[in-house]
Amino acid sequence: MPIRVRYQNNSEAECTIRPTPLVSIGLNVLKNGAGEAFGVNYSIVLTGTLLADQGSPYGHDQGGTRYGYLGSPSPVPDLVGPYGAFDSNISHFQAGRPPRQQINVSTASHSLFFKQKVLRALFAQDGQRMEITDINDDEPTIVCYPRLVGEITFTEGIYIDRCDFTITLEADTLLNNNVVVDNEGSYIAFDNAIHPSNTEDTLLASLSGAFISDYNEEWSIEVDDSVGESPNIPRSYRISHNISAVGKTHYSPNDDETVITKLIAWEQARTFVQQRLANSITDYPNVMGQIGQGTIDLVDSYGGYNHVRSEQVGESAGSYNVSENWLISSGSSYENFGLSIGTSIDSPFVSVTLDGNIKGLSSITPSGFGGSANSIGDSAYSNSLLKYNTLTNSGQFGVGSDIYKRANNSVAVQLNSQPRSVALGSNEYTGEVTYNLQFDNRPTNIISGVMSESIIINDTYPGDIFAVIPVIGRPTGPVLNYIGGRTEYKRDVAINLTMDYTDVPYGDTRNPLLLKKPSVVEPTATQMSNLIAELSPAGEPNIRKYFISPPQESWEPKAGIYSFNLSWTYEISK
């Protein structure tokens, strides 16, 4: 049962070890803590003996010269392998045993130490083709590409005739002479299944598998009280997922063994972890089912957002680790706000101020940022805007808006449904919208489409008509002389409006400058007319007659500021 090692995977350097070592092959099925198999290890132990004057490798003296042979053996072919110590015979069944060398007691230790050196050099490189054959068969029974585990040990002795040794190797797969992987070796880390009758090329390419020695995967959930979505949903959750693997450096031959590929350990670990990630979550962003459906009743109502993934590579340790986190929320954003109520002796109104911060959540996967999967509708900033528009009725407010209801329910009076002031801030990078809104209980505007309106009414009532006659030197001042009669009734009305931005003209022609003023544009013109009719003394009782002074209209088109002034002089019957 010869054992041959293809030195440095050179097909012209087949090194046969003689006397043939005893071979022990052990199988270890790799399993995780849950008992799932994800691969195998083969432990191969060679236990043999080096003879000073016999076998292969051949003995050399201190100067590196091969010792001669006893008798007249047939010529030894060209030697190969480390230090040129092995002949190139595939087997010795046909060629006979290696010729015996001329070595006596005084030179035996030189030969044995040299043979130890040759064995160390032969197995110094991992991933060399090693085959085990029958004694009379040049076709291999078992082929592998092992790694040296630990050290090569030589038993203690006087080294005058022999030296025993032990070499411990490790392989991930065993192959037959057709380079087909043994069934149990097809336990590759992918789907915990055996894949028989596969070559290594097929096993790795079609299954996207990996050779690993260990892996670990953990899920955890915790409450995040700092993130509340609304008073009815006061908390959110955070999920953490960690998966790590330790790979094995594997030497994989192609189907005809002409190319030996070295698979780096950490890259094997990465392949396994990334395959695991791709199959762990099939309905992103809903990841609650991974923790245990029924453990917490959030599977249908909550979803995962702000998916962040980090990776660590340990090249020297052959490891690869991925950590990922989600914020688990029932909506695509959350809000924090503060509310304050104020009154002042300078104003008859109660004011309510809302300061809020809306943080959007992103459902874009880590690989989606910057790529074709990056949809603006999934971004944190777009979700924060969506939340603000939902709260404020797209910035129109009104009695049906959530933000108005929030302010109005905090006081005993009825607030105006349009805020007195609005201040907004945004940060697209962090996906945030901030707002400051001030409501008060001022009366609702009479004129629609205005930011603010002011109506001032001045009534002047009749007074005495008298003369003021200066008298020179009179210490009590002028003489007041009643001349009979009374003054007229007067009413002055001033209407001041601040229009919104839609009424501000941006052109420089007559149409936008003059034809945008409120007294021309409907429905403002009709509302102004109705308001003036209500303020006119014409409809009041006992009015005998009235006269209108020339009205005054002021329009500042670039600022949207409008004023209208009107005066009545009237007479009553009593």
pLDDT tens sequence across 1-39: 689 999 999 988 989 998 999 999 999 999 888 888 888
pLDDT confidence bin for 187, thresholds 50/70/90: confident
Question: What's the start-to-end Cα distance of the chain, in Å?
Answer: 140
Residue 411 phi/psi, 5-degree rounding, is -130, 165
In this structure, of 71-85, 265-279, 329-343, 541-555, the range with the lowest mean pLDDT score is: 71-85
Between CA 230 and CA 76 the distance in angstroms is: 90
Question: Which residue in this structure is represented by tokens 């009413």?
Answer: 491
Between CA 228 and CA 233 the distance in angstroms is: 6
Residue 221 phi/psi, 5-degree rounding, is -135, 145
Contact 570, 491 (CB under 8 A): yes
Q: Is it the case that residue 330 has pLDDT exceeding 80?
A: no
CA 216 to chain centre: 21
Q: Is it the case that residue 283 has pLDDT exceeding 50?
A: no
pTM of this prediction? 0.68
**Burial grade of 292 (CB within 10 A; 0-12, 13-18, 19 or more):** exposed
In this structure, of 287-301, 308-322, 449-463, the range with the lowest mean pLDDT score is: 287-301
Share of the chain residues as helix, strand and coil, in percent rounded to the nearest 5? 20, 40, 40
For the segment 490-498, the average pLDDT, to the nearest whole number, is: 95
Question: Which residue in this structure is represented by tokens 């309510």?
Answer: 352
Q: Is it the case that residue 518 has pLDDT exceeding 60?
A: yes
Tens digit of each residue's pLDDT (9 = 90 or more) over 353-373: 999 999 888 877 766 654 443
Closest CA to 2 of 171, 145, 139, 166: 139
CA distances for 111 relative to 52, 60, 66, angstroms: 5, 6, 9
Contact 497, 517 (CB under 8 A): no
Q: Is it the case that residue 573 has pLDDT exceeding 50?
A: yes
Which is higher by pLDDT, 478 or 203? 478
The secondary structure of 26-62 as a DSSP string is: EEEEEE-TT--EEEEEEEEEEEEEEESSSSBSPPB-T
pLDDT confidence bin for 90, thresholds 50/70/90: low
CA 392 to chain centre: 30
Closest CA to 48 of 88, 17, 75: 17
pLDDT confidence bin for 376, thresholds 50/70/90: very low
The 3-class SS string of 81-146 reads: CHHHCEECCCCCCCCCCCCCECCCHHHHHHHHHHHHHHHHHHCCCCCCCEEECCCCCCCCCEEECC
In this structure, of 55-59, 92-96, 191-195, 293-297, the range with the lowest mean pLDDT score is: 293-297
Three-state DSSP class for 330?
coil
Q: What is the pLDDT of residue 300?
A: 57
ω into 557 cis (within 30 of 0): no
